[in-house]
Amino acid sequence: MSAHNEEAPELIEDQLIEDQIMAAAPTVLVAGADAAGQRLDQWLAAQLGPDMSRSRVQMLIRQGAVMIDGRPVDETKRKMTPGESVSVAMPEPEPASPRGENIALDVLYEDDALIVVNKPAGLVVHPGAGNWTGTLVNALVHHCGASLSGIGGVRRPGIVHRLDKETSGVMVVAKTDRAHKALSEAFADHGRTGDLERAYLALVWGIPQRPTGTVDAPLGRAADRVRRAVVPEGRDDARHAVTHFAVQERFGENQREFATASLVECRLETGRTHQIRVHMAHVGHPVIGDPDYGQAFRTKANRLPEPLKSQVKAFSRQALHAWLLAFRHPDTHLTMRFEAPMPEDMEELVGGFRDL
């Protein structure tokens, strides 16, 4: 087993921690004259009060939760300068264990080791800031009972990969420690050394110049610390990210009156948060309906005929669907393949563009 695979579960947990930090509202502090020459961790611990130990402050710094004058900093011993603005994003405390909730699940497959579901758009995967209940994890705890207890940690039992809240499609969840370890390693490796295959369908604005392409651009925090963005490779928070895409259908390419669009299949070589959405926007083809990365293209809907114009304006989420998931079963070692058709709302939207 490679060192990369041995670290896989930890890498996934680190990504979850980073997402939670980014969602937290920051506390902003300004260094006074007495801060001159003090270590960042010492000064910050004193400013945050007796309930915040220096070791906890050091952990927040290393996790990327601290910024000075808008730039991330990860050096605990960094010397302070009067007038510097320090922002700290402290994650909200999580409940010890999610409660089971009777939420309907579209189960594609289930055995003693794992469960495969077709997640609907609008369902958050695991509890977190602002979504402590009503998540896929709450539904799984109710459905699977004690078999999920503690697998991969009580806060996110069984979770080895995620989909954004408004992204639909196939997900696998582990029900044993053995399955969790094997699947976590496979997802962290993204199929480079095993039988993992993931494919997404995205309805995007415009028609790429080439039928296939690769976006190789590192991702990091956007200026608002909530979204992601393509960032310079050398930046502290830059993470290697590669997306391969292939155009499946072109809409409106033989006319000039209306806006064009494409149905694109995307395959991930890495698995960063919002990766497909950021990468497709970066190459000028944002996912239709994306509220975070497609805002600049919202007026494109005005260049469509009715009723398609109204359809696009009423579509309140990104048109992104995880249609294919294949992996090696951790116990039988057989390759399993699952497909989920596009949900009705996305299928209707694609149908509208086919009529252009």
Q: Which two tokens stand for residue 87?
A: 């922002």
68 touches 85 (CB < 8 A)? yes
Q: Tell me the sheet residues that pair with 203.
A: 263
Distances (CA, A) of 151 to 17, 18, 97, 219, 330: 17, 21, 12, 29, 15
**Rounded CA gap, 263 and 61, in Å?**
41
Question: Would the CA dihedral through 30, 237, 232, 272 be positive or negative?
Answer: negative
Residue 265 near residue 246, CB atoms below 8 Å: yes
The number of helix segments (H) and strand segments (E) in the chain equals 9, 15
Q: Give ∠ CA 331-8-175 in degrees, rounded to 5.
A: 40
Phi, psi at 175, each rounded to 5°: -115, -5
Phi-psi region of 122 (alpha: psi -120 to 50; beta: other; left: phi over 0): left
Q: How many other CB atoms are found less than 10 A from the CB of residue 188?
A: 23
How far is it, in rounded angstroms, from Cα 69 to Cα 60?
Answer: 17
User: 295 burial class (0-12, 13-18, 19+ CB within 10 angstroms)?
Assistant: exposed
Q: Which residues are catalytic?
A: 164
- Burial of 343 (C-beta count, 10 Å sphere; 0-12/13-18/19+): middle
Which phi and psi (to 5°) does residue 289 adopt? 85, -5
Q: What is the DSSP-derived secondary structure letter of residue 25?
A: P
Q: How far apart are CA 110 and CA 117, in angstroms?
A: 9
